[in-house]
Amino acid sequence: YAPWCPACQQIELTWESFAKESERLDITVGKVDVTQEPGLSGRFFVTTLPTIYHANDGVFRRYRGSRTLEDLQGYVLERKWEAVEPVAGWKSPSSIVMHGMAGLFHLSGWIRQIHSYLTGILGIHVWISYAIFILATLLIGLFLGL
């Protein structure tokens, strides 16, 4: 979820109620703010918000059902998740590919922080910051090419 997302705000009370029922359902319910954890949004290939996953014994399934409390509880109690096809092996959050995707999301956040530091703290013009990144990219490419 993301705090600025209208759909996430709409489901928030339902999700909180679902979390309160978690002990009775013998499950763990959580939520992750993708603005604070960009690596997880890359690892889980989050393209829409909110995105709900069911995980059991390392197998991940994306929940695409209704977002009412009754339907969320029914999904677990009636074991409806068994009829849902697991996330493909290469797209699974535990796969090497998605570990790499998470790393790319972390790298993009790091680059954004450097850009903000250069432009905000040091007062460098935006285009000069871009030029620095272009030069760094070329130099890294040349170094790796050698």
Contact 102, 40 (CB under 8 A): yes
Greatest Cα-to-Cα distance within the chain, rounded to the nearest angstrom = 60
Same domain, 86 and 31: yes
Same domain, 45 and 114: no
Name the catalytic one among 1, 2, 3, 5.
Answer: 5
Residue 11 domain flag = yes
CATH of the domain at 69: 3.40.30.10
Name the catalytic one among 4, 7, 8, 112.
Answer: 8
Same domain, 14 and 49: yes
Same domain, 111 and 87: no
Residue span of the structural domain in which 15 resides: 6-91
* Residues 101-129: tens digit of each pLDDT: 777 877 888 898 999 999 999 999 999 99
Q: Is 106 a catalytic residue?
A: no
Same domain, 23 and 78: yes
* Residues 1-26: tens digit of each pLDDT: 999 999 999 999 999 999 998 888 88
* Residues 67-81: tens digit of each pLDDT: 999 999 999 999 898
Structural domains in the chain (count): 2
Same domain, 14 and 72: yes
Question: Residue 37: exposed, middle, or buried by beta-carbon count in 10 A (0-12, 13-18, 19+)?
Answer: middle
* Residues 20-48: tens digit of each pLDDT: 988 888 899 999 998 888 777 777 878 88
Look at residues 87, 83, 89 and name the one whose alpha carbon lies nearest to residue 61: 87
Both tokens of 124, joined, read: 């460098």
List, in order, residues 6 or more apart from 12 with CB less than 8 Å away: 1
Same domain, 28 and 71: yes
Same domain, 47 and 75: yes
Residue 130 domain flag = yes
Same domain, 83 and 127: no
Contact 128, 135 (CB under 8 A): no
Q: Is 12 a catalytic residue?
A: no
Predicted model pTM: 0.65
